[in-house]
Chain A
Amino acid sequence: DGGITQSPKYLFRKEGQNVTLSCEQNLNHDAMYWYRQDPGQGLRLIYYSQIVNDFQKGDIAEGYSVSREKKESFPLTVTSAQKNPTAFYLCASSARADHNQPQHFGDGTRLSIL
């Protein structure tokens, strides 16, 4: 089955620690996205990548970093600079970064602070 796999499902971060969330897709999609979801709010875009070796900041990129070395992988690092990282993180992909392409989502990673 084609889809997006996010791991781990739950993650705990200690103070001053960087953590990396994994996102892998086997849909052969060019574009990938990272969103943050907080209760009662819509999704907020952290970073997106239209193609391998290229990525752009979204609305809330501060305290986060990404890489896109392979088409199928788009890991997100939550750095110690992100002071309020507790949230549900969603990775998505689309065939292209075109206006009419729907996004396909993974099942998310829930990050909490120890």
Chain B
Amino acid sequence: AQSVAQPEDQVNVAEGNPLTVKCTYSVSGNPYLFWYVQYPNRGLQFLLKYITGDNLVKGSYGFEAEFNKSQTSFHLKKPSALVSDSALYFCAVRDGSNYQLIWGAGTKLIIKP
């Protein structure tokens, strides 16, 4: 069965420091991986995706994610955090046999000035 785990409910980072939001997944075939961000009382916004190719994927707002097949991980990263990055982040995965996205529970990212 497909599954996604975001092991941290909350991540706290000081402004200007690098940030990492973790995601691990389990699928039976090749994974299609996505990161989304949600601000309070808003819908989700697409940040980036991994389909195939280069393991380091660059996305919106300076975010990037590294696909690691052996560790079945797709961690979201940013070299220098901004207070405005504070939000809820969701990882999602689907495999090649299913159109349905499977969502992680979300990680609340708090960037302190």
Q: Which residues of A contact B (CB under 8 A)?
A: 4, 6, 31, 40-45, 48, 50, 58, 90, 92, 97-100, 102-108, 110
Q: Which residues of B contact A (CB under 8 A)?
A: 4, 9, 32, 34, 36, 41-46, 49, 51, 90, 92, 94-96, 99-106
Contact A41 B105 (CB under 8 A): yes
Contact B100 A58 (CB under 8 A): yes
For the complex, give the distance between the alpha carbons of A99 and B101 in Å: 9
Which residues of chain A come closer than 8 Å to B34, judged between CB atoms? 102
Q: Give A40's nearest chain B residue, CB to CB.
A: B105
Contact B99 A48 (CB under 8 A): yes
Residue from A4, A40, A42 within 8 A of B43 (CB atoms): A4
Residue from B4, B9, B46 within 8 A of A104 (CB atoms): B46
Which residues of chain A come closer than 8 Å to B103, judged between CB atoms? 42-44
Given contacts A42-B4, A50-B99, 10 further A-B contacts (CB under 8 A): A4-B43, A42-B90, A43-B44, A100-B49, A100-B51, A102-B46, A104-B46, A107-B41, A107-B42, A107-B43
Q: Give A96's nearest chain B residue, CB to CB.
A: B99
